[in-house]
Chains A and B, each alone.
Chain A
Amino acid sequence: MDLRAVAPRPSPAERAAVDTVLGPPESGWAGGRRDSATDGHAARGGHEARSRRHLLLPALHAVQARVGWISEPALGYICRRLTIPPAEAYGVATFYSLFSTAPQPPAVAHICDDIACRVASAEAVCADLERALGPARTASPDGRTTWLRSPCLGQCDRAPAALLTVAGERPVSAAIAPADAAGILRQLEHAATGMAPGTPTSAPIGPSVPQAGAPGLRLLARVGTVDPTSVDAYRAAGGYRALERALAIGPDRTIAEVTAARLVGRGGAAFPTGRKWAAVAAAPARPHYVVCNADESEPGTFKDRILMEEDPFAVVEAMTIEAFATGAERGFLYLRAEYPLAAERLTNALARTRGAGLLGPDILGSGFAFEIELRRGAGAYVCGEETALFNSIEGKRGEPRNKPPFPVERGLFGRPTAINNVETLANVLPILADGAAAYAATGTDGSTGTKLFCLSGNVARPGLYEVPFGTTLGELLDLAGGVRDGRHIQAILLGGAAGTFVGSDRLDTPLTFEGTRAIGASLGSGVVMVFDDATDLLDILRRIAAFFRDESCGQCVPCRVGTVRQEELLHRLANGHPRGTAADELALLGEIGRAMRDASICGLGQTASSAIESALRQPGLVRL
């Protein structure tokens, strides 16, 4: 058998990109310059190198951002530096949609064609781009630009949205919303001519948060009113009162407060936060970790993005409290890569808090030490699932793990881990600052506090709204100005692609965990997407089916194949060529959905048919 030929060397740019993340190579063994004095015959690497496996994604990001794609030599160099088998690293690189292992032009426009943007004529934008640049995923004639379709970019209040990424020495990543083909082409032009594209200045937050500045807001109190880049402004606006109180009362009473407030997770699963923290705090294995799940990817959801962009210090403070309560010294903030402004604001917030002694070896002089690292996803909805997220941080494919064991017992790096969604963490601050009783006075018995709702679709004033639990769906829609252009509601999607469609007869439903459960729906991540009577709902359902097919990790059979069969079935319905009657198809859809719900490993497969089935089950909601 032939020995494998030495892989071609990475280009200087690829090597430099990797070295910025991993540092210069220590020896000739790791791809550095050969030097007989230092290289010798000693084996280097081993456990030490393998323990840096978690740097795989950052290294891949570095190459992608510098060169625009990840070549075989670049991947080989990363593998050599981190002692990762190339086949495994290739498996990781091909898992994430924002990494390209085939040559790709440096300037890429990712056009969101997901449900909210679809309602806002994203297809027209795509058609214009196709006319100007050719089909998606093909390079423009000069080889400098391309465009491709993307799942939800979390800018649904300003749909249609696009994400522009430009690789180079000074890489650019910026959201454009609302986007039009002419604007996108102009930005691509800038990138193609080598000029740094005018970074689209972040739009003023006002329109996205219509309530900004109103009295009585808890979670949005600082949004739009306090400078999100200044730690002093944050402290002047009441920031770090909660941490001071936590440090004063100690970890046990901090957890007791959160438990007494009856806070439950806002990521979709509604698990009691206090119980989670108590379990991690009591877990004997060490070290403990805290993780902030900021991989908000549920179509229609943008609440965490606005919190992180406009109130980033709150996320840092809440994670610090969580770490203090659960006995962790290290935290990871896992942010989806489609949120460049949030990344910038959080990076700044981490630096500022470190500088002010609010993060690091001795926080507020208490002796408590805690450090947070920002990690970016790379385009995978499934990484919002907590165990897939751990695998992603660890440098693996974002495949969910089987539970049990649960994260509180074996989470990140196999250690007890407290993982919470951004909005959940934001709730911790008022609980600590004002006390559990004051917090729980708002809302209902089963759902305490306030909730953020992401309104999008055909509403007059789409955006982020904070209302007390118990507000009815109709009241919330009134707050957003009702249906746009005086049209009528055809359906409302609650909870996102993994949620449920309800009809306009449900407007009196109180928006609480128990209230939505009573009508067979769920709050999910707080999505309220309105479709008026002019919407082709079957087309929306088809897009949801395509979404789950694209985002299934492929690990378990029910989800990997079930999402494909579900999409095929919806195509047949939409094309008017059902196998048998439409009723036969609905029965088959029910069977597919039931198997995915019962037998899939994680929540993605378990909810992949939820919205589609809910829409088709209600007589008259969808015209077949």
Chain B
Amino acid sequence: MTLDPIFTTPLARPSRVPTAPSRPEPAPVELSIDGRAATVPTGSTILEACRAQGIDTPTLCFLENLTPVNVCRICVVEVTGSRVLVPACSRTVEPGMEIQTDSDRVRHSRKMVLEFLGSSVDLSLAPDVARYMERYGADPARYGPVAETVAQPVKIDNELYVRDYSRCILCYKCVEACGVDAQNTFAIAVAGRGFDARISTEANVPLPASACVYCGNCIGVCPTGALMFRSEFEMRRAGTWDEAAQTQTDTICPYCGVGCTLTLHVQDNEIVTVTSPLDQQITEGHLCIKGRFGFRFVQNRAEGE
């Protein structure tokens, strides 16, 4: 007598990963950029249209994985019929739009934005900005040595990262990454008003007393080095930070089953920082405390090893 098998072979899995049903291609929009006709999909932003045309449009507060806040105003372009310049990063294209990306007005506003930032914020760790400044002929020094700045002491209140708001251009990216765009922790927000506006925890308490979960996603999006790994900060202070000597290696995070891609930045056989690629489907550049900071065990070698 044969017994019915208790375990059956599972059904064969479909041979391909199911995908969402295909959507109809968005209708193309025809417009002109710098006098040349261009066709881009409906719903594109002016920035996307410009990039598709190979036009290098400067951005500071824009990042592909965050909602555009259009506050830095460096991406402004001139649109025929619009009284003021419009931000390329957030404005969607319309049929027949005539866009100027290098007119006198555009160049002037971009130059002034760079001068305003350069004269009030420490931009020495923002490599793109120096390039833009040269392109637009910005001269931050012309506001004089007594021009007011946002200079203030570095906030070092935990082991994992430091906040140097002398370098902060108030791009809102860290607030977005801490909020609904990635982490949903809401530990930081903009407080104060005008030139005195600052990124702050509630009542400006130190990070360990705040809601911060140390995911480090704010560091990942910061364009000016205002937010920095403690490891990088200490190495820079000691003069041992050498970006040219670093290698980048992609691997998978060892901690949980999500499988985030980590990019290990290694200098002298030591992991110095960890990032994740922006275009990585799982992370979109964002990590958690373990993936971002939990790498020390790798280099805890036994004595003499």
- Give residues in A with beta carbon < 8 Å to B: 1-2, 4-5, 72, 75, 85-91, 94-95, 97, 101, 380, 397, 402, 404, 549-558, 560-565, 568, 579, 588, 591-592, 594-595, 597-601, 606
Taking a contact as CB atoms under 8 Å apart, the answer to whether A556 and B73 are in contact is yes
- Give residues 175-219 of B contacting A (CB, 8 Å): 186-197, 200-204, 208-211, 213-214
Taking a contact as CB atoms under 8 Å apart, the answer to whether A402 and B189 are in contact is no
- In the complex, how many angstroms separate the beta carbon of A573 from the nearest chain B beta carbon? 13
- In the complex, how many angstroms separate the beta carbon of A67 from the nearest chain B beta carbon? 16
Taking a contact as CB atoms under 8 Å apart, the answer to whether A562 and B116 are in contact is yes
Report if A598-B76 is in contact (Cβ < 8 Å); known contacts: A2-B208, A592-B112: yes
Most buried by A among B91, B112, B147, B169: B112
Taking a contact as CB atoms under 8 Å apart, the answer to whether A599 and B113 are in contact is yes
Return 14 A-B CB contacts under 8 Å, by A number: A86-B202, A87-B211, A88-B186, A91-B200, A94-B191, A554-B190, A554-B194, A556-B70, A556-B73, A557-B71, A560-B116, A561-B120, A561-B195, A599-B73
Determine if B170 is an interface residue (Cβ-Cβ < 8 Å). Answer: yes
Residues of A within 8 A of B70 (CB): 402, 556, 601
CB-CB nearest 3 A-B residue pairs: A85-B186, A554-B197, A595-B112
Taking a contact as CB atoms under 8 Å apart, the answer to whether A552 and B72 are in contact is no
Taking a contact as CB atoms under 8 Å apart, the answer to whether A557 and B169 are in contact is yes
- Give residues 29-50 of B contacting A (CB, 8 Å): none
- Give residues 99-143 of B contacting A (CB, 8 Å): 105, 108-109, 111-113, 116-117, 119-120, 142-143
Taking a contact as CB atoms under 8 Å apart, the answer to whether B195 and A557 are in contact is no
- In the complex, how many angstroms separate the beta carbon of B130 from the nearest chain A beta carbon? 17
Residues of B within 8 A of A72 (CB): 202-203
- In the complex, how many angstroms separate the beta carbon of A578 from the nearest chain B beta carbon? 10
Determine if B220 is an interface residue (Cβ-Cβ < 8 Å). Answer: no
Determine if B148 is an interface residue (Cβ-Cβ < 8 Å). Answer: yes
Determine if B57 is an interface residue (Cβ-Cβ < 8 Å). Answer: no
Taking a contact as CB atoms under 8 Å apart, the answer to whether B186 and A579 are in contact is no
**Other A-B pairs, 11, CB within 8 Å; known A90-B200, A557-B71, A557-B117:** A75-B202, A90-B202, A90-B203, A91-B190, A101-B203, A554-B194, A556-B73, A561-B195, A568-B148, A595-B113, A598-B109
Taking a contact as CB atoms under 8 Å apart, the answer to whether A558 and B113 are in contact is yes
Partner of B108, one of A88, A557, A594, A601: A594
**Docked CA distance A88–B210 (Å):** 12
Taking a contact as CB atoms under 8 Å apart, the answer to whether A552 and B194 are in contact is yes
Give the secondary structure class of A's interface: helix
- In the complex, how many angstroms separate the beta carbon of A146 from the nearest chain B beta carbon? 20
Report if A556-B143 is in contact (Cβ < 8 Å); known contacts: A595-B108, A598-B85, A606-B84: no
**Docked CA distance A594–B144 (Å):** 20
- In the complex, how many angstroms separate the beta carbon of B246 from the nearest chain A beta carbon? 28
- In the complex, how many angstroms separate the beta carbon of B90 from the nearest chain A beta carbon? 6
- In the complex, how many angstroms separate the beta carbon of A88 from the nearest chain B beta carbon? 5
Determine if B285 is an interface residue (Cβ-Cβ < 8 Å). Answer: no
**Docked CA distance A339–B9 (Å):** 78
Taking a contact as CB atoms under 8 Å apart, the answer to whether A579 and B203 are in contact is no
Taking a contact as CB atoms under 8 Å apart, the answer to whether B189 and A88 are in contact is yes
Taking a contact as CB atoms under 8 Å apart, the answer to whether A397 and B73 are in contact is no
Taking a contact as CB atoms under 8 Å apart, the answer to whether B170 and A599 are in contact is no
**Docked CA distance A565–B70 (Å):** 21
Taking a contact as CB atoms under 8 Å apart, the answer to whether A91 and B189 are in contact is yes
Residues of B within 8 A of A380 (CB): 193
Nearest-CB residue, chain B, relative to A79? B202
Taking a contact as CB atoms under 8 Å apart, the answer to whether B202 and A561 are in contact is no
Taking a contact as CB atoms under 8 Å apart, the answer to whether B195 and A599 are in contact is no
**Docked CA distance A307–B76 (Å):** 40
Determine if B87 is an interface residue (Cβ-Cβ < 8 Å). Answer: yes
Most buried by A among B73, B186, B214: B73
Residues of B within 8 A of A606 (CB): 84
A-contact bits for B209-249, CB 8 A (1 contact / 0 none): 11101100000000000000000000000000000000000
Taking a contact as CB atoms under 8 Å apart, the answer to whether B73 and A558 are in contact is yes
Nearest-CB residue, chain B, relative to A404? B91
Nearest-CB residue, chain A, relative to B212? A1
Residues of A within 8 A of B195 (CB): 549, 552, 554, 560-561, 563-564
**Docked CA distance A380–B73 (Å):** 23
**Docked CA distance A75–B201 (Å):** 13
Most buried by A among B111, B142, B202: B202
Partner of B84, one of A2, A75, A591, A597: A597
**Docked CA distance A234–B188 (Å):** 50
Residues of B within 8 A of A101 (CB): 203
**Docked CA distance A592–B144 (Å):** 15
- In the complex, how many angstroms separate the beta carbon of B20 from the nearest chain A beta carbon? 26
- In the complex, how many angstroms separate the beta carbon of A208 from the nearest chain B beta carbon? 31
Taking a contact as CB atoms under 8 Å apart, the answer to whether A591 and B186 are in contact is no
Residues of B within 8 A of A551 (CB): 194
Partner of B143, one of A5, A404, A568, A597: A568
Report if A591-B202 is in contact (Cβ < 8 Å); known contacts: A95-B193, A554-B197, A568-B147: no
**Docked CA distance A90–B203 (Å):** 6
Residues of A within 8 A of B170 (CB): 554, 557, 560
**Docked CA distance A604–B49 (Å):** 30
- In the complex, how many angstroms separate the beta carbon of B192 from the nearest chain A beta carbon? 5
Taking a contact as CB atoms under 8 Å apart, the answer to whether B192 and A554 are in contact is yes
Taking a contact as CB atoms under 8 Å apart, the answer to whether A599 and B112 are in contact is yes
Taking a contact as CB atoms under 8 Å apart, the answer to whether A558 and B112 are in contact is yes
**Docked CA distance A87–B178 (Å):** 11
Report if A90-B191 is in contact (Cβ < 8 Å); known contacts: A72-B203, A598-B85: yes
Residues of A within 8 A of B192 (CB): 94-95, 554
